[in-house]
Amino acid sequence: MSTDETGEDVGYGKPPRATRFTKGRSGNPKGRPRNRHRAIPHDAVLGQMVTVRENGKEWRVTAAEAFLLQLTQKGLAGDNAAARASLEAIERARASRPDNTQRITTIVLTAIENGTDAILEPLGLAIKKYPTDESRVRWEINPWIVQAALERLGDRQLTQDEQREVWEATRTPHKVDWPDWWMVKG
């Protein structure tokens, strides 16, 4: 401990009287802001760039755009709540944009499949051929599922038109062990 010119002790925990905080006055007048961590960082989260992958193609968009694309796809697939939320978000965005700003944007969406189509490929029952060509797109049934279906028929036989349709829809018909009564081959 040492002393200052007034004779008072000065040292650790005892600063000189002239530099001490005055009574009733904070050393940090602004203080810590209230609720500084409570606000959700929308811009930080929704402004992040994410990679969207669809049909083997990748592109980068903001998280907000990816979220809207996902909502829109669910809405197109029949999810009414997602469709309403998507439309509301689009309307809010349009309302917040000034009228003199005219932007033309082309958005290409692939609807999320539902029903039977949604399970054929994941279960390995069929493969979608030419998915991007609307005039040629079709499902081809895997041979093992055709084989299993034929075994389940028992004594029942298909007509020639039904046989032709099954043959044309089978992915690799030469791998199927066709029954003796089967007539259509090619």
What is the per-residue pLDDT across 57-74, written as a single tens digit (0 to 9) for each? 888 888 888 888 887 777
The answer to whether the beta carbons of residues 76 and 84 sit under 8 Å apart is no
Give yes or no: residues 127 and 89 share one domain: no
Asked if residue 127 is part of any domain, the answer here is yes
Q: Which of 113, 36, 45 is nearest to 79 (CA)?
A: 113
Average pLDDT, the chain: 79
Residue 178 confidence class, pLDDT cut points 50, 70, 90: very high
Q: What is the DSSP string of 64-89?
A: HHHHHHHHHHHHHTT-HHHHHHHHHH
What would the pLDDT profile of 83-130 be if each residue is shown by its tens digit? 788 778 777 777 776 665 555 555 454 545 556 666 777 778 888 888
- Tell me the residue range of the domain where 79 lies: 44-96
**Tally of domains in the chain:** 2
Asked if residue 104 is part of any domain, the answer here is no
Asked if residue 70 is part of any domain, the answer here is yes
Question: Does the pTM of the predicted model rise above 0.95?
Answer: no
Q: Which residues contact 69 (CB under 8 A, 6 or more apart)?
A: 52, 61, 107, 109
Percent of the chain's residues with pLDDT above 70: 84
The answer to whether the beta carbons of residues 169 and 127 sit under 8 Å apart is no
Give yes or no: residues 49 and 89 share one domain: yes
